Amino acid sequence: MSGAGGATPRLDPHEAARSVVSVAGLAAVALGGGTSGVLAGLAIVPDVFASLLRRVLHGHVRHLVLAFLGAAAAGALVMGQGAEAVLWLLVGLQLHARLSPDVAAGSRLSLLTATLLLVGASTRTTSPWFLVVWGAWAALLPWAMAWPQRTDVGHPAHRRWRLRFALGVPSIALVVFLVLPRWPLPGGAGGTGQGRTDVTRAFTGFSEQVRLGDFDRLDDDPAVVAEVRFEDGAPEPVVLRAGALDRFDGRTWQRAVARRPTPAWDPGPGRRLRVAQSDLGGTVLLPGTPVGIEGLAVVQDHNDGFATDAQGPLAFEAVVRLGGPFGPRVLRPHARERYLQRPEGLDPRVGALAGRLVDGAADDAARVDAIAEHVAREHTYARVAVHGGEDPVATFLFETRAGHCEYFATATVLLLRSAGLPARVATGFVAGEALEDGFRFRRLHAHAWTEVHLAGVGWVPLDTTRGAVGAPPAPPPDPPAPDAKDPPTPRPPDAVSTRPPSRPPAPPVPWSTRLRALWEAGVLGYDRGVQAMALRTLGRTGGTVGAGGALLLVALLAGALVLRAWGARRARIGPARRRAGPAASLEPEAIEGLLEDARDALRAAGFDLPPELPALAQVGHLRVLGDTAEADGLEALVWLHYEVRYGGEPAGPRLAAAREALATLRAHLRAGAAP
Amino acid sequence: MVRAPPLAPPTVVARPPARRGRRTTRDGAAFGVFLIALLGVTFLSGNNLLYLVVSVLMVLAIASSHLGRRNLDGLRLARELPRDLFAGQVAWGAWRVSAEGGADRLDLVIRDQDGGHSRVELPALAPGPARRVGARWWFGHRGRLHLRTVRISSRWPFGLAERWVEWDLPEDVVVLCAPGEPLPLARLRGGGRGGPQAADEIEDLRSYRPGDRLRDVHWPTSARTGRWTVVVRRAFEEPPIWLDVDPRADVPWEEQLSRATGTLLDPSTRGRAVGLRAPGRTLAPRRDGAGRRALLEALATMPRQP
């Protein structure tokens, strides 16, 4: 908006709001990258200066812009780039709308297009900056929407509401985001954390191989997998091991296929137990190291996993040794080579990171500690696979820093192998539900962790999934938590990180990492499971907060009521009264009061103003008597009063003029102009 | 104001609104369709970023509904019509409107639904004492009119829906004929002034009243006493003026009524007794204000085409 008559151009606040909303849409697309992202980034410049360009170009060029981008979109569509084509077209429409000389119609189209751009961008980006863009869009959209409808004409009351909307809409929208039900989807249990539409899902459980990025979403499967009952009562929580995977091609872990007959059992001290498990394709689940198995013929693979040819559900008895390292204390060269294998084309940053982490470590155990601490502290557990790009491990380690247990285990193994330590990914079930004499494991208890081989010690389990490292020895199992897919594994007492730290603690996690983790877990990873867990947590909290929580709630409610009353009083008094004291108000009566003040001042100065005369007749009376200056002063106030009272004009802008007229009149009277 | 008996009270304060309603605007319908479609896509895709976008739109829809309803709560209204209403002329009056408690009421539009083409836009109304808002009425035809329903509507906050409340403010008004060119006094039966001497003869002096002409001010007395004093001229000698309206005359009927009204309002007839002769209706000459208004009303309520 520019002032008339060559006055200095001023920023039109409505135009600014429209511009922010529009730029937010374009910026969201730019976050997604690609040609449409570049195009959207470039379009931000003319969008920001749309007001100027409208005046200069008179809206002619906008048709050319739309035609050009439309043709380009058609070309992209022909080449099979449908999504790109749509975004190109939307960017063209956005510029077309913003440059339209019909500002009201252009605003409507611009707001719609900006929203569609955000919708389109939401399928292409997972950047945390999306939240910033979304916040700007949400804060100013109400204001921008009100303008074409003329429901915001810049009255002070409107300006107050702009601020309320700008703060309130995004805040309430976040709450709505959290409580909106995640719909059960065909092929999945509903809800995804991914900013994509081509979401694939998988259920928790066990498989012969682990493929990173094979699915986007993990959903809980409560089906029971196995029950383990100890003859002499339940010990500390156990880990039900299915086996280990040793070969990694950059995306998939595979199990060694070579199996050998189980060597003759060497019965020794151990815990006798009964296992009842569902059919897992021959895989046998065992807690600890078996000393003997009865009632089932099994074979053992190179990764210390056990299998059977028996079909269907299995039931057998076994004697196991719980805890402690297991397997050979010294690896043969070919085995060591297999456990040091790294995929071709592994991101060189992985090796460099491993080198930095173990630099200065005194021994293998210290190296393991360093790597485990880094993975556990710098990464966040998320139930989504944020696997962008071709190298999911590098993406997990250096970009998203969030993932589920398979990402933690894989990254740990690759770092260990890069540091020269043999390692493999183990799979199984953890944190089973406690029974009287054992544990029940469901598919949702499936987990993946790391096993590292220490020379002279054997294989040592190591769980770096966030929260496990540095944890005290495992407490008794919690009550069933059907949505806890990957709870931290109870660490065996001889796990590496139970050693005293051999080096100074790692530096604190930077805020950027924390915020990113919050974004990954709180927005991208928010789904039905998290919703249900949050509800249960609230329920538990509500039950345990007691009097303190109740008092806090009451205090919050009281504070809200006080704030509301204060706000209502402010609204009742009005801004002008607050500024100028109780004598002023935006009401028309305020100007009438000023007019009465002027009459009083004139009477006090000795002028005869017959009270029965109408206001303008009093002015005429003064003129008849020759008091022109006083008549002019009074007449100015009279007309201001008439404009407001009978002309339907707003009082606000005239109040200042009325005050000024009264002040001038009083100054004139003080100067001795009285008759 | 000329009113037909029985007259309603001059100003009727609105009772609590009898009717409420809402209408989805075209933008609101488009918004709703878009929101529903986006909700479907969001639920089907499970995309959390879409959930963020759709959450904002849902908040806007909910806020629009809640704030729009609250915006019209606690309003009170009274109509203040101007003194005279003439057909075809703008008449300035006012609405006295107040809001009880709560926040400012925004973007109100006040309409008289049953005539008058009165529409006032009020950008904001602070809660508290009543505020008088200038308004204008315009009536196309003379005659009696029964004003009743008044509607306050608002599209605040986002223009997605228009909410309204309606009151019954019954008020009977008579719209006077549009004043036409006054008839020459010489043509009026019994017209002509009684003579300059008689007209100029001073009967009395009295204090100035609003509306008195300056030429009636008695300057010597005013200067002497310091108070505005006007003369009361003797008019009893002036013969009455008869306004004759006849549908059989050559002049169109409505024009006759219009010119008669103009004559009644003309300052030159002020203070003189005026009577009316119309088919089937005769009003004796009177010179007071009540008689003059009775004449105006009679002219306004004449049949359309006898």
Nearest to B77 by CA among B138, B152, B8: B152
Map tokens 């200038």 to a residue. Answer: B134
Q: How far is residue A267's CA from residue B248's CA, in Å, rounded to a whole number?
A: 135
Residue pair B151/B165 in contact (Cβ under 8 Å)? The answer is: yes
Cβ-nearest to B58 among A119, A176, A587: A176
> Measured between CA atoms, how close is A119 to chain B, in angstroms?
6
Q: How far is residue A627's CA from residue A608's CA, in Å, rounded to a whole number?
A: 11
- Indicate the angle between helix axes A156-179 and A528-544, nearest 10 degrees: 100
* Window from A489-503, A625-639, B25-39 with minimum mean pLDDT: A489-503
Q: Is A567 on the interface with B (CB under 8 A)?
A: yes
Task: Give the angle A156-A157-A161 at the CA atoms, nearest 5°.
Answer: 115
**What predicted TM-score, i.e. pTM, was given to this entire model?**
0.56
**Residues in chain A closer than 8 A to B60 (CB atoms):** 141-142, 145, 169
Contact check, Cβ <8 Å, A587/B106: no
| pLDDT confidence of residue A574 | 43
Q: Is A608 on the interface with B (CB under 8 A)?
A: yes
pLDDT of A572 higher than 60: no
Contact check, Cβ <8 Å, B107/A151: yes
| pLDDT confidence of residue A502 | 38
Q: How far is CA B18 from CA B149, B165, B209, in A?
A: 10, 8, 43
- The percent of residues in chain A predicted with pLDDT above 70, rounded, is 73
| pLDDT confidence of residue A258 | 59
| pLDDT confidence of residue A27 | 92
**Please, which pLDDT band fits residue B37 given cuts at 50, 70 and 90?**
very high
| pLDDT confidence of residue A427 | 85
Residue pair B172/B179 in contact (Cβ under 8 Å)? The answer is: no
Residue A291 CB coordination number (10 Å):
17
Cβ-nearest to B126 among A174, A571, A647: A571
> Measured between CA atoms, how close is A109 to chain B, in angstroms?
11
pLDDT tens-digit series, residues A295-312: 777 777 777 888 787 777
Q: Which residues pair with A227 in a beta bridge?
A: A276, A440
Give the chain A residue nearest B128 (alpha carbons): A572
Cis amide prior to B6 (ω within 30 degrees): yes
* Window from A102-111, A344-353, A354-363, A536-545 with minimum mean pLDDT: A536-545
Task: Give the angle A130-A136-A141 at the CA atoms, nearest 5°.
Answer: 120
DSSP B267: G
| pLDDT confidence of residue B164 | 92
Cβ-nearest to B48 among A121, A193, A588: A193
Name the strand (E) or helix (H) holding A283: strand A283-284
Pairing of strands B131-138, B202-207: unpaired
Q: Is A563 on the interface with B (CB under 8 A)?
A: no
**Residues in chain B closer than 8 A to A161 (CB atoms):** 106, 157
**Residues in chain B closer than 8 A to A613 (CB atoms):** 208, 210
Contacts 24+ apart (CB under 8 A), A574-578: A574/B126, A575/A156, A576/A652, A576/A655
Cβ-nearest to A612 among B101, B210, B226: B210
Cβ-nearest to B157 among A142, A574, A648: A142
Report CA A135 to chain centroid distance, whole Å.
Answer: 11
| pLDDT confidence of residue A587 | 54
Cβ-nearest to A571 among B94, B103, B226: B103
Q: How far is CA B282 from CA A601, A663, B251, B304, B306, in A?
A: 54, 58, 20, 18, 15
> Measured between CA atoms, how close is B200 to chain A, in angstroms?
24
Q: Is A551 on the interface with B (CB under 8 A)?
A: no
pLDDT tens-digit series, residues A173-230: 999 998 888 866 554 433 444 433 344 455 555 666 677 765 555 556 667 778 888 8
Q: What share of chain B is helix, strand, coil (3-state, %, to 5)?
A: 30, 35, 35
Cis amide prior to B157 (ω within 30 degrees): yes
Cα-Cα-Cα-Cα dihedral sign, residues A407, A409, A412, A415:
negative
- Per residue, the 3-state secondary structure of A293-337, as one string, reads EECCCEEEECCCCEEECCCCCEEEEEEEECCCCECCCCCCHHHHH
**Residues in chain A closer than 8 A to B228 (CB atoms):** 610, 621
Alpha helices in A430-585 (DSSP H): 511-518, 528-544, 546-573, 575-580
Contact check, Cβ <8 Å, A589/B129: yes
Contact check, Cβ <8 Å, A151/B131: no
Residue pair A18/A110 in contact (Cβ under 8 Å)? The answer is: yes
Nearest to A153 by CA among A162, A166, A165: A162
Instruction: Tell which A residues from 511 to 550 touch B, by Cβ distance under 8 Å.
Output: 523-524, 526-527
Q: How far is residue A106's CA from residue A375's CA, in Å, rounded to a whole number?
A: 51
Q: Which residues pair with B237 in a beta bridge?
A: none
Cβ-nearest to A646 among B92, B131, B158: B92
Name the strand (E) or helix (H) holding B52: helix B48-71
Map tokens 């009082």 to a residue. Answer: A651
Q: How far is residue A368's CA from residue A460's CA, in Å, rounded to a whole number?
A: 10
Q: Is A134 on the interface with B (CB under 8 A)?
A: yes
Q: Which residues pair with B204 in a beta bridge?
A: B232
Q: How far is residue A509's CA from residue A515's CA, in Å, rounded to a whole number?
A: 10
Tell me, what amino acid is at A354?
A: A
Category of A80 on φ-ψ map: left (φ > 0), alpha (ψ -120 to 50) or beta: left
Tell me, what amino acid is at A72?
A: A
**What's the average model confidence in pLDDT over A604-633?**
77
pLDDT of A472 higher than 70: no
Nearest to B202 by CA among B230, B181, B183, B176: B230
Q: How far is CA A421 from CA A310, A358, A630, in A?
A: 36, 11, 100
Q: Which residues pair with B111 in a beta bridge?
A: B119, B151
Contact check, Cβ <8 Å, A183/B46: yes
Give the chain A residue nearest B158 (alpha carbons): A146
Q: Considering chain B, what is the average pLDDT of its residues?
A: 82
CA dihedral A13, A19, A20, A21 (to 10 degrees): 110
